[in-house]
Each structure stands twice: as C-alpha cells, then as structure tokens.
Amino acid sequence: MTRQQLVDEIRRKQSYLCVGLDTDITKIPKHLLSHRDPVFEFNRQIIDATKDHCVAYKINTAFYESLGLQGWDAMEKTVDHIPVTHFKIADAKRGDIGNTSSQYAKAFFETLDFDAITVAPYMGADSVKPFLEYENKWTILLGLTSNPGAQDFELQQAGNGLLYEKVLTTAAQWGTPDNLMYVVGATQADWFTSIRKLTPDHFYLVPGVGAQGGSLREISEKAMNKDVGLLVNASRAIIYASHKEDFAAEAAEIARQYQYEMAGYLH
C-alpha cells in the first residue's frame, strides 16, 4: 500500500484506527473453542465487525507463533481475510544481520502478504535496509516505546541527545516518509511534540491507547501532521470488549467510538 492510498483511506473513513489482533486463545470467548480454528474464527468475526471503523489491522505474531503450525495457519488465513483496503501490519519486531533480515522480509512481504512489519533497530542500517527494498511495503522502526524498560536504553543520553532521538534521525536517512514509520508509545504523550519536530513527515504507529491508558486527544493534538501521520492502535480495549457471544458487536461499538472521536480531531 502506498502512502497516498493510506492517507486517502484515512480521509475517506475519518479514522486512523488500527485494530490490534493480539489474539490470545486463552482469552477468546469459550463458545469459539469448539471451532476447528478458534483463533481465526475469532479474528474473522472481529474483522467483519470492525472493518468499517478502522484503516489498519496489526497482528502480533507472537500470539500465533506460540501455537506452532496451527497458529501460523490461523495468521495466514487472518491476513487473507483482511480487506485489501486495509493496511496490514506484522508486529514481529524482527531485525538481524542482512541476509537473515532478507529472509524475514520475504516471509512477511511475500509468503504472508503484509503491508508492513515492525523492526528492531539495534543492529543498525544493514539489518533494516532489506525490509526497505520492497516497493509499496513499509518498515515500522521501534522508536520510543511505552514499557518501563525504555529507560534502560531509549531514554539514555547519547551524544547531544537521547538514544531514541538518534535512532529516529539516523534511520530517517535509510528510508523515506513513503516507506518508513516509527513506533511511538501513546503513554509517552509529552514527547510527541519534540518527536514530530525531528520527523515532521513520517507516520507513527502508536500503541498504548485504551487498556494501557494513552490519551487519544493528546496524541492527536501533538503528533498529527498534514497527512494525519498517525495510526493509533487499540487491541484489548476492542477485541476483548466482551467475552460473550456478542463479542463482535461489542468490539464494533468500541471501534465506532474511537472512529467518532478521531473524526473530531481530523482537519
């Protein structure tokens, strides 16, 4: 998916919502466990219920990899079920030496038809560039995360700035705003103003809204750019809105509420 296609979809739907499919088989409604593939059945119903309110889906691959072959099968079927109008993110946090990263890129951009993958930047340019070589595919680099461990490295001084700032500005030279996004956690809302100054044109994938307590209003006010430049992810708040047979309808209602609020912030 190109940047313009993504922006057009955001404007058309008046939404920059990304629904996180962090599907934990121990947390889905019990009545689904009788299905041959309960994880996919859960995802299918969530997608069908929420697709009118969001522009993207993010699959956290760990929840599928942990189930072995059955989990990979569920993930592949889920990717195939997501409409082509929606941006499909593999939240896989890959990153290794160049030839290994090339295989990761092939796995998620060719074998599995994702539009984007999250990548860890620790090993530097040669570990990231194989992902950037794919046309109309996106690399989403970990920038500033919401977890307590961000203090260990990301927020440490590195030369004239903080380490995460060096990651943002250095990586911006590897790709372009058309193929490189950054992960910036929603619970770090106070940092968004300075981050936007460093990377004025890039999109941000923003986890941490909803169950983790991030403020959609603050993020939208501080980080939106002329092309919106945001994909705000909500996972548990939407997909686990209900554990009963009405779970999909409840998920749709929460997604609709997010979309309605987002429409008010768009300009």
Asked if residue 39 lies in contact with residue 68, where contact means CB atoms within 8 angstroms, the answer is: no
pLDDT band at residue 37 using 50, 70 and 90 as cut-offs: very high
Instruction: Supply the range of the domain harboring residue 99.
Output: 3-265
pTM: 0.96
What is the helix (H) or strand (E) element at residue 69, kind and residue range?
helix 69-81
Q: Tell me whether residue 58 is one of the annotated catalytic residues.
A: no
What radius of gyration do the chain's Cα atoms show? 18
pLDDT band at residue 212 using 50, 70 and 90 as cut-offs: low
CB atoms within 10 A of CB 30: 10
pLDDT band at residue 189 using 50, 70 and 90 as cut-offs: confident
What CATH number should be reported for the domain holding residue 17? 3.20.20.70
Spot the catalytic one: 93, 129, 166, 222: 93
Would the pLDDT of 126 be above 70? Answer: yes
Average pLDDT of the chain is 95
Q: What is the pLDDT of residue 146?
A: 85
Nearest to 90 by CA among 50, 129, 131, 118: 118
- 3-class DSSP string for 107-122: HHHHHCCCCEEEECCC
Q: What is the pLDDT of residue 208?
A: 81
What is the helix (H) or strand (E) element at residue 128, kind and residue range?
helix 125-132
How far is it, in rounded angstroms, from Cα 63 to Cα 18? 17
Q: What is the pLDDT of residue 209?
A: 81
- Give how many domains the chain has, as a whole number: 1
Asked if residue 94 lies in contact with residue 101, where contact means CB atoms within 8 angstroms, the answer is: yes
Q: What is the pLDDT of residue 122?
A: 95
Asked if residue 263 lies in contact with residue 54, where contact means CB atoms within 8 angstroms, the answer is: no
What is the helix (H) or strand (E) element at residue 141, kind and residue range?
strand 138-144
